[in-house]
Chain A
């Protein structure tokens, strides 16, 4: 927060620094450390993070060359992990929840207890092995980054902690105590209502189409190439690689291309399926109580989110091109206070059948028509702009190819690529226009855009706290505008691109007409 010299007009985000004013009796409440088992979890997490580097280091070590920096890095990671436990402490006073953290930059975060709106519980496999859960305490209006994160406490203590934290929230008090009574000392994670996800192992057939496999392979390849570069060609010194390389060099280009494409597809699919199973298998979603949703998925990863109309602002449906081709989709809930690191969204359904994704989202958010209804297309000018942009893209590639050829970097054979590029960009233009649309239903603003990564958002009008109309030079010439709804939830900005300019203000006006006057609006449930 950069509020040096700032005049607070009505601050709602947690105060940082010494601004917090705990009462005199609050000063007597001792500071508590988090669970000491984190002394093991933090370093282990760091080590797992460096695992690929360590593996490469060991392989490299087998052909000579001592990668000392790997050991330094791992040691540093472990040290930081241990220090993190020693430097983090918290206390709960009558009026405030405070947390002190930071190794070099000390930070004191203080949140008035009556501002607390949510308690989200998250546990990775490592946390669960040690019987721990990460608890995130959110204020309704927070920007996410200022959230109080307790990493981690005993899973058994979570229910009680949650009750304490939410006891100030009217309406929550009863629900939370009920839940705690029913659960008793047992972890809240083990209870819950009916699982309505209907997830089946067969959903993993959608995994290869999410392209998560391709992206992980790209990451690995970059990583390998980078060590190759920094370690003076470690790879080419390995005997196996040497052998294969000489074999490959004798293959004709065409069969090389075909073979590598096949291998890439098979490998990417396999990686995607494994990743899918690791993170989404046994996906289950159920209501713990009226306002708490319990989401479990993957290898023991659990998540429990507080869900009420104060936080839930809509849903986002993702249909990447490849997944759409096989009738798949996945959904996220748009909520406040989830933290922007994860894009402020909570997974509602993993990649799976589109109809199921919509059913789950509708059951929770209740905006089925917003997810399935027809959208208003953006008209001729937006249509033309799709082609102009596709042509610009192809044209830019042509210029690059021409220059590269003139400078002698590539052979004229490179022009064959345009057999794919030109129809590809035309298809993209068509599909992008087809995806473009918006609509306004009572209580919901809906927008959809994109082709490769098509997304449709259904956003509660009550959650919208401002508008931005953005027009680039070219958009002004085409009479178009990008209308952006700003909100305190999810990604904080939801854009309707290339709307005809003359429709932008009437649209804002129509949304506004649905809401009451500002003075009444802000007392209504947000």
Chain B
């Protein structure tokens, strides 16, 4: 099922299937390694639920929810 990264729950794993951001935001997202096909895991949310912390390629980065909206993901079955 495809959904926006915003709607993933803590510790959900997913694969990126599309990124709709262009311009500076798009570039920043790509520079940090968020490209189609990348597997990600939600590892935390800030105390006010926003931003979200995402683990990918062996490191952690943070995204605001309105930035996460531009990223479409496909949820992977939890391996736990």
A, B from the same assembly: no
Q: Which chain A residues have a beta carbon within 8 Å of chain B's beta carbons?
A: none
Q: Which chain B residues have a beta carbon within 8 Å of chain A's beta carbons?
A: none
